[in-house]
Chain A
Amino acid sequence: EVQLVESGGGLVQPGRSLRLSCAASGFTFDDYAMHWVRQAPGKGLEWVSGISWNSVSIGYADSVKGRFTISRDNAKNSLYLQMDSLRAEDTALYYCAKVFSRRFDYWGQGTLVTVSS
């Protein structure tokens, strides 16, 4: 059974940093691209960032480019999102998602990030 478990969310002040993690199990992690998708409270889904199986291809939404860094450790079956210079508008539930053939086929339950002073 595929499982994606996010962690690392919490309350952080504007301008500070936070690192999210996603622990994957139930599939061959290093065969698949992985992505982060977020959802602000009461708002729609927004793609944040994605990384190919071998970390060669990486993409970011314009809204986070230059502030967020995605990475993965295939030996640990883990995905990460380093979030720097956080802003109030980054407040959201952050989902980790597995991608197969350009579709998000499995999602985690999400971890909540709140940016506030």
Chain B
Amino acid sequence: QSALTQPPSASGSPGQSVTISCTGSSSDVGGNNYVSWYQQHPGKVPKLMIYEVNKRPSGVPDRFSGSKSGNTASLTVSGLQAEDEADYYCVSYAGSNNYVFGTGTKVTVL
């Protein structure tokens, strides 16, 4: 149950794109399509942004997109806006009602 690996930080100017990686193993990320992404602003509750690798819940802007290749999932935020500045976490189902979170990435809008 090792945490999924994410870069500690990522940044971009308003209007630019930023991509966050999430690397696991064949036991989690690479073994199923149940990867989800959460946004957390300081002092706030995490919010679901992407589920099942690339699906967006209603209300989440289409600037947010997800993908996966092998044991690595990615979240891309296009057209960065000031309100996108937050911490982002990936999560993968790991079988037998177990889940593993990523280490988290702080996104800064320059």
Q: Which residues of A contact B (CB under 8 A)?
A: 33, 35, 37, 44-47, 50-52, 57-59, 61-62, 95, 101-105, 107-110
Q: Which residues of B contact A (CB under 8 A)?
A: 1, 3, 32, 34, 36, 38, 40, 45-46, 48, 51-52, 57, 87, 89, 91, 93, 96-104
Looking at A58, A101, A108, the one whose CB has the most chain B CB atoms below 10 A away is A101
Contact A103 B97 (CB under 8 A): no
Q: Could you tell me the distance between the alpha carbons of A68 and B83 in the complex, rounded to whole angstroms?
A: 37
Contact B45 A50 (CB under 8 A): no
| Chain B residues within an 8 Å CB radius of A59 | 96-99
A95 is contacted by which of B45, B91, B97, B98 (Cβ under 8 Å)? B45
Contact B48 A103 (CB under 8 A): yes
Q: Can you report 9 residue pairs joining A to B where beta carbons are below 8 Å apart?
A: A47-B101, A57-B96, A59-B98, A95-B46, A102-B36, A103-B51, A104-B36, A109-B45, A110-B45
| Chain B residues within an 8 Å CB radius of A101 | 34, 51-52
| Chain A residues within an 8 Å CB radius of B46 | 45, 95, 104, 107
